[in-house]
């Protein structure tokens, strides 16, 4: 059998780190595979997905803007992806395409790896209510923590997420000023907005005036590696984590879906930093 293929579909798709990451694992485990970057305009998505049913394709990753549109083009969408409302990984089992989402679990694993314990004492706050907040929020809500609140520029969107999170843990939607005032109550605060993501101008999505030193502050952004908000958290003596470990873990979990085992993640972050610079 010839080389097996994998890839990522998106539009536009100039700077994906996924090929670097997966190729490093193929080399490490001596797998004769190829991971490709496929720029797929929305009007060609259907035809492209059809090609992925052929046996040479083991599966593929899905990124913006196809994470929702892909639902109707594949055969099965698992519970995780259903809950998040987005697919980021597809597995080809003999022509049958199954979609899942590894973002939420990738986030949880990156947090545990950084030394944060998800106990029933933890109160967490998510800033943002878009796709990233959904993925991270629902995984966190199901992780056994005490409560998970949401705040967002558009508060109605935080309310909608909080309503879903309530199925799994205590949850409220807060205005930005309520969240800022109550920040001392949280052990974990996550920026899941796109504020600070290159190439857009950076500002602080939520003031950290009342944050307690030692609070775990996570920014899901990895470009730049340190946003203004994360710098601010650092200066308040919080523990900080950027979005790169989550990217690595969501990729490692996709690899596990395709090959059955979790690949080694140590060292991959360093490799990706070189590509970001």
Taking CB under 6 A as the criterion, the residue among 131, 137, 243, 263 binding ligand ATR is 131
Q: Which of 34, 153, 231, 256 is the binder for ligand ATR (CB under 6 A)?
A: 153
Within 101-184, strands assigned E span 123-127, 147-151, 173-174
Residues 260, 43: Cα–Cα separation, whole Å? 33
Q: Least separation, in Å, of the C-beta of 127 and ligand ATR?
A: 8
The verdict on 119 binding ligand ATR (CB under 6 A) reads no
- Using the contact rule CB under 6 A, the part of the chain among 100-108, 152-160, 180-188, 259-267 near ligand ATR is 152-160
Helix (H, G, I), strand (E, B) or coil at 53: coil
Q: Does the annotation count 67 as an active-site position?
A: yes
Catalytic residue among 67, 80, 142, 236: 67
Has 194 been labeled as part of a binding site?
Answer: no
Q: How far is the CB of 138 from ligand ATR (least distance, A)?
A: 13
Q: Are 61 and 18 in contact (CB under 8 A)?
A: yes
Neighbours of 240 (CB within 10 A): 20
Q: DSSP string of 63-110?
A: -TT-TTGGGGGSSEE-HHHHHHT---EEEEETTEEEEE--HHHHHHHH
- Nearer residue to ligand ATR within complex by CB, 58 or 136: 136
What is the Cα–Cα distance from 59 to 48, expressed in whole angstroms?
Answer: 12
Considering only the stretches 93-101, 117-125, 137-145, 187-195, report the one whose residues sit in contact with ligand ATR under the rule CB under 6 A.
Answer: 187-195
- Which of 31/221 has CB closer to ligand ATR? 221
Distances (CA, A) of 216 to 8, 9, 43, 121, 260: 31, 33, 42, 14, 32
Single out the residue of 44, 54, 117, 154 in contact with ligand ATR (rule: CB under 6 A).
Answer: 154
Q: Which residues bind ligand ATR (CB under 6 A)?
A: 128-133, 152-154, 157, 193-195, 205
Tell me the binding residues: 16-18, 63, 79, 88, 103, 128-132, 152-157, 220, 222, 243, 250
User: Mind telling me the catalytic residues?
Assistant: 67
């Amino acid at each position: 059998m010839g080389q097996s293929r994998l890839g990522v579909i998106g539009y536009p798709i100039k700077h994906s780190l996924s090929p670097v990451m997966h190729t490093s694992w193929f080399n490490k485990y001596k797998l004769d595979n190829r991971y490709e970057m496929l720029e797929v305009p929305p009007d060609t998505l259907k035809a492209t997905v059809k090609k992925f049913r052929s046996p040479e394709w083991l599966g593929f990753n899905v990124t913006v803007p196809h994470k929702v549109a892909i639902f109707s083009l594949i055969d099965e969408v698992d519970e995780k992806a259903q809950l998040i409302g987005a697919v980021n990984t597809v597995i080809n089992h003999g022509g049958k395409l199954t979609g899942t989402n590894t973002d939420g679990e990738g986030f949880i694993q990156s947090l545990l790896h950084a030394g944060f314990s998800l106990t029933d004492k933890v109160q967490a706050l998510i800033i943002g209510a878009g796709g990233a907040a959904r993925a991270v929020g629902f995984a966190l809500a199901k992780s056994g923590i005490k409560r998970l609140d949401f705040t967002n520029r558009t508060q109605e969107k935080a309310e909608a997420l909080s309503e879903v999170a309530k199925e799994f843990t205590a949850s409220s939607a807060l205005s930005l000023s309520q969240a800022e005032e109550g920040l001392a109550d949280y052990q974990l605060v996550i920026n899941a907005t796109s504020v600070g993501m290159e190439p857009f101008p950076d500002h602080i999505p939520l003031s950290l005036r009342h944050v307690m030193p030692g609070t775990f502050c996570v920014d899901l952004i990895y470009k730049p590696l340190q946003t203004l908000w994360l710098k601010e958290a650092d200066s308040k003596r919080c523990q900080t984590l950027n979005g790169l470990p989550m990217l690595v873990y969501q990729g490692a979990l996709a690899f596990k879906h395709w090959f059955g085992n979790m690949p080694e993640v140590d060292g991959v972050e360093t490799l990706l930093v070189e590509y970001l610079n």
